[in-house]
A and B are shown apart, each in its own frame.
Chain A
Amino acid sequence: AQSVTQPDIHITVSEGASLELRCNYSYGATPYLFWYVQSPGQGLQLLLKYFSGDTLVQGIKGFEAEFKRSQSSFNLRKPSVHWSDAAEYFCAVGINFGNEKLTFGTGTRLTIIP
């Protein structure tokens, strides 16, 4: 069975600083990988996804993620965070065609300080 590990429960970053959120997955075949963001009281919004091809994926809101098969990782990055980026971030792995069954990590809560 597939699994996702997000080792950082909570990260605090200064506004304007760079950000990297870690995600490691376990799956026997080629994974379909996703990053979602959840603001308080809101549903999850898809930031980006990786199915195949270029291992560096661009998403919305200035986020990007890099798939590294050798490290079983799919880390999320942003060069300069904004106060509005404060939220909970979830990494997820899909099987089959990707969206049929998503397994989510436990999430990383991002706090932005002035």
Chain B
Amino acid sequence: EAGVVQSPRYKIIEKKQPVAFWCNPISGHNTLYWYLQNLGQGPELLIRYENEEAVDDSQLPKDRFSAERLKGVDSTLKIQPAELGDSAVYLCASSLDRDHEQYFGPGTRLTVT
């Protein structure tokens, strides 16, 4: 069974540019999470989806971050415009539903110059 797939794995952009990350969860997993992991820190939840509905986006900086999960499968996280402080690893995770284990993807390492 394929795990959580994320792309790209690495991205380098200049500040003020837009960037997008893509996540394909494990087949059949209804719940999808986006986490931000700063260097030397644990992951922090940005947004959680139940199917196509964002049920917890309280930690998402909505002035520059947006996310979508059309059709309740794949998800895209976007930053526009990117700032230097956005340099981090963006992790996607999925679970069967909110009562089951989260499976994490390898992450996208973003560097903003």
Contact = CB atoms under 8 A, between A and B. Distances in A.
A100 B98 CA distance: 5
A18 to B, nearest CB: 24
Interface in A17-54: 36, 41-46, 49
Contacts of A45: 104
Contacts of B93: 43-44
A45 B102 CA distance: 9
Interface in A64-114: 90, 92, 96-102, 104-107
B43 A106 contact: no
Identify whether the interface residues of B are mostly helix, strand, loop, or mixed: loop
B107 interface: yes
Contacts of B102: 46, 99, 102
A10 B31 CA distance: 33
A42 B106 contact: yes
Contact of B44 (A41, A96, A99, A104): A104
A51 B105 CA distance: 24
Interface residues of A, number: 22
A102 B100 contact: no
Nearest to B104: A43
B41 A107 contact: yes
A55 B31 CA distance: 28
B4 interface: yes
B61 interface: no
A111 to B, nearest CB: 15
A18 B93 CA distance: 31
17 contacts: A36-B104, A42-B106, A43-B103, A43-B106, A44-B91, A44-B93, A44-B104, A46-B101, A90-B43, A96-B98, A97-B99, A99-B98, A99-B102, A100-B48, A104-B43, A104-B44, A106-B41
Interface of B: 3-4, 31, 40-45, 48, 56, 91, 93, 95, 98-107
